[in-house]
Structure 1
């Protein structure tokens, strides 16, 4: 009998927390299935990940797992944010491309297949050169992915760039979104420049390149995005919807664990967590706290911080707020705090530099989430059954906030506004005035998400199919 080969998967995320986290979860699922896994970050994120995690303990749980890195070619002192990374993003990333090629050619490393972030399309060139199967991964919603495929059409019809003057014009040239989306709900890249904008052209190039891959993996589930997933199927050979990934990982590990306690949350920690907030939450009434976090990437101005702060204090609601040390653009901290905000926070608030978000959202004291609408945060809130106030800023966040408010009806959208009165009123609406209506949809969709990742659920079955298909690649190799 021919000996079965152990599949070896090499995964490469785009260097940003919101991309690394879900792909690491997918990598853990492969390792849990018995695959060899090599997880490749750029050097800076590799160092941050290893510096903030118990890697020895991780390797004990996943002995066939290996972390490694490639350079991005940027100077060491480059902050890798905003305009500083624009040129790298818009290039074909020659240093990273060569390093990735050399890595794959290392003795004993040649993989069964590559799984690469869809906006790292140079990996498709490398895979084709080495004749290795490649699957692309999108850490976004299907709605955002479908929008990306229509950037060229939007440009051709003169809809770009989106400006204040045409914000509320209905989207007409993206099938399936006509009745729900306005221009302001399109990905933020549509606001940044005209048809010749280099970042827009890079997205068009990378999105087109995904059609050369053998399949696409998306961190979503059929029950909330089925019609749009079907439309994506007209452009792509094969699609595996396997989300919400963080919940699927917990489901798979619980299934095989004899322990009654829940498994650990995702191990992708790029900043130290302040767990004192969990003790504070334990002392708060059920569903009384508004959790506020704008993710790992967004920057705010000091005036915006103060508007949010006044709005939350004036609402009279309890709040847990994540204020990163680098949250304020160009400043090391929030600066002087008005007396009324300091007093209101002491009475009803808790501020930390980083929080264990999945645990926070699952806590019984949490009644709502004021979020930047990143897709990871959206899915985590959705699974936990926590309604949202959405304040999107970049990337796919505009798309996600519209889906939350108008399609799934599990929250409120405050995009393109930032004033204390709006924040105060929406906090009260979410926590009191409109809570019953929003919670009805929130509870239904939370159940759909949890069912999707259980044995027999749609995402569970799709992961099984993905694992089976990769195993067949190893058998043929």
Structure 2
């Protein structure tokens, strides 16, 4: 066991992430806050992204005397890698079912061997393993090594509550026989079928992901603590509704530090795609609150018809726009994901098309007036922290529910509605753009999102709700105590009354 000079035990926390940007970054940012409170943190993920990570950062390399190898770290967080069972050039997106099934088999063995080699062989005290939902088998590894495990939920607390009630059969949800059933859950507005996470619907095609999430909830007792990338003031009602069932502790928003009035250089986020910084130079030439920012993430590929409808609406809006249109690696015969012919030339004086951009800097730029987004939780958390109203275009997973939260709970934007063909028309996009910028509720959206921005900044600051929850976790890890319900930080009655106008 490693000891400091004053004989105090050094507590190490291992963060286990699925190898995707939106999964790695929340864990890194949580790790940075744990390090700032005296713990030692290490991030472990599969080796297929090792080269990309190490190329991006000027890593701190130190010799490990035990095995004469090099340790890589980011801002004091060590990086470790283990095999997912595939060669580096294997296309992991080609067959998700096969990939996740294989990872579930080989991941525990390789992660366990890594723990033995890095911690036990070096006499380091591993005091906690923090996992995210896409590596649920890591909880079994924690049990195997008798190390307490924490789950970092990387979607809103509302989604956690929905899944908990769905997988434990506590409420009625749509079925093949009754696909249009509306769902009423404590702490949430009434949810129609189109508002629910796609994985709870009978039409869900992703069996491996459903199996993985189901297994997570069936084994929830393996997690000593449940954390969330959210903040209390944002989801107060649904967090309170879970108190007796399975308390969830918000420790976010785990977004870039520059959005939270903190030093930009202290952020530990990674960019697995190279951003085009030229878009910032273009933004600098635009008027304040004039630019429509459009991005649908790294996975979504829209049909050619949908791309054309959005392109036409942006052109007709007479507003400058910045569109992150990540083109397919292999062009499809039906034109999916591709910009309409001639669009770039026609709008060269109005818009900027980027394959990827530094989203944090874009959202914080004074030229941005609104964000048209797929409503992934990382993007939504960033736009809230930046104080930018949104137009949502959800696709799958948690995104439909996130969009419902935007319109019915947070009240910071609008949702694009599909027609009978499943397409959002040009007219619909134009109408939402006009409403979000100049409509009768435009000032209300701006006011609400700015209040949430202030609440997010306060939550992570010293003494804020998320900061207190992180400190409580650090104390639990350091003292080896069990999870006591009274340790959860809730708003006082006075604080609750002050926040009602923001969160209801």
Into which bin does the TM-score normalised by the smaller protein fall? 0.7 to 0.9
Alignment of 1:315-464 (within 5 A): 315-326=317-328, 330=332, 337-339=340-342, 341-414=343-416, 416=418, 417-433=423-439, 434-464=441-471
Distance (whole Å) between structure 2 residues aligned to residue 247 and residue 162 of structure 1: 44
Cα offset, 1:14, TM superposition: 2.2
Kept in 2, the 8 Å contact 1:38–1:67? The answer is yes
Kept in 1, the 8 Å contact 2:304–2:336? The answer is no
Cα offset, 1:96, TM superposition: 0.8
Partner of 1:219: 229
Q: Which runs of 5+ in 2 are unaligned?
A: 63-70, 482-504
Kept in 2, the 8 Å contact 1:247–1:383? The answer is no
Task: Please say which of residues 274-283 and 439-448 is displaced more in the overlay.
Answer: 439-448
Please state whether the residue corresponding to 1:295 is helix, strand or coil: coil
Partner of 1:259: none
Cα offset, 1:162, TM superposition: 9.8
Partner of 1:101: 112
Distance (whole Å) between structure 1 residues aligned to residue 194 and residue 414 of structure 2: 15
Q: Taking structure 1 as reference, are residues 11 and 460 closer, same or farther at Cα in structure 2, changes over 3 Å only?
A: same
Q: Taking structure 1 as reference, are residues 33 and 194 closer, same or farther at Cα in structure 2, changes over 3 Å only?
A: closer
Please state whether the residue corresponding to 1:37 is helix, strand or coil: strand
Cα offset, 1:439, TM superposition: 1.4
Of residues 209, 218, 224 in structure 2, which corresponds to 1:208?
A: 218
Cα offset, 1:87, TM superposition: 3.0
Cα offset, 1:47, TM superposition: 2.8
Distance (whole Å) between structure 1 residues aligned to residue 205 and residue 425 of structure 2: 32
Cα offset, 1:144, TM superposition: 0.6
Partner of 1:37: 41
Cα offset, 1:60, TM superposition: 9.9
Cα offset, 1:447, TM superposition: 1.6
Cα offset, 1:77, TM superposition: 4.3
Partner of 1:258: none
Cα offset, 1:145, TM superposition: 0.6
Partner of 2:312: 310
Cα offset, 1:79, TM superposition: 2.5
Distance (whole Å) between structure 1 residues aligned to residue 177 and residue 357 of structure 2: 35
Distance (whole Å) between structure 1 residues aligned to residue 40 and residue 306 of structure 2: 46
Cα offset, 1:153, TM superposition: 6.0
Greater relative contact order (CA < 8 Å, ≥ 6 in sequence): 1
User: Aligned residue pairs: how many?
Assistant: 459
1:127 aligns with 2:129: no
Cα offset, 1:443, TM superposition: 1.8
Of residues 161, 175, 196 in structure 2, which corresponds to 1:160?
A: 175
Partner of 2:285: 283
Q: Taking structure 1 as reference, are residues 445 and 328 closer, same or farther at Cα in structure 2, changes over 3 Å only?
A: farther
Kept in 2, the 8 Å contact 1:28–1:62? The answer is no
Q: Which runs of 5+ in 1 are unaligned?
A: 255-261
Partner of 2:496: none
Task: Please say which of residues 24-33 and 326-335 is displaced more in the overlay.
Answer: 326-335
Partner of 1:79: 91
Cα offset, 1:429, TM superposition: 1.3
Kept in 2, the 8 Å contact 1:373–1:391? The answer is yes
Kept in 1, the 8 Å contact 2:458–2:464? The answer is yes
Q: Taking structure 1 as reference, are residues 318 and 223 closer, same or farther at Cα in structure 2, changes over 3 Å only?
A: same
Alignment of 1:290-305 (within 5 A): 290-305=292-307
Cα offset, 1:210, TM superposition: 2.6
Kept in 2, the 8 Å contact 1:273–1:355? The answer is yes
Please state whether the residue corresponding to 1:245 is helix, strand or coil: coil
Q: Taking structure 1 as reference, are residues 406 and 158 closer, same or farther at Cα in structure 2, changes over 3 Å only?
A: closer
Task: Please say which of residues 348-357 and 91-100 is displaced more in the overlay.
Answer: 91-100
Task: Please say which of residues 8-17 and 245-254 is displaced more in the overlay.
Answer: 245-254
Cα offset, 1:91, TM superposition: 6.4
Cα offset, 1:464, TM superposition: 1.8
Distance (whole Å) between structure 1 residues aligned to residue 148 and residue 402 of structure 2: 31
Cα offset, 1:155, TM superposition: 10
Distance (whole Å) between structure 2 residues aligned to residue 263 and residue 47 of structure 1: 22
Cα offset, 1:193, TM superposition: 3.8
Kept in 2, the 8 Å contact 1:325–1:333? The answer is no
Of residues 59, 63, 66 in structure 1, which corresponds to 2:78?
A: 66
Cα offset, 1:442, TM superposition: 1.6
Distance (whole Å) between structure 1 residues aligned to residue 6 and residue 297 of structure 2: 49
TM-score scaled by length of structure 1: 0.87
Task: Please say which of residues 18-27 and 195-204 is displaced more in the overlay.
Answer: 195-204
Cα offset, 1:276, TM superposition: 0.7
Kept in 1, the 8 Å contact 2:259–2:386? The answer is no
Please state whether the residue corresponding to 2:80 is helix, strand or coil: strand
More helix by share: 1
Cα offsets for 1:382-402 (capped at 9, x unmatched): 011100001111211111110
Cα offset, 1:441, TM superposition: 1.5
Please state whether the residue corresponding to 1:418 is helix, strand or coil: coil
TM-score scaled by length of structure 2: 0.83
Cα offsets for 1:5-60 (capped at 9, x unmatched): 22111111123222111111112222333432221111123332223333349999
Kept in 2, the 8 Å contact 1:265–1:358? The answer is no
Partner of 1:257: none
Please state whether the residue corresponding to 2:357 is helix, strand or coil: coil
Of residues 47, 50, 53 in structure 2, which corresponds to 1:49?
A: 53
Partner of 1:186: 196
Kept in 2, the 8 Å contact 1:389–1:430? The answer is yes
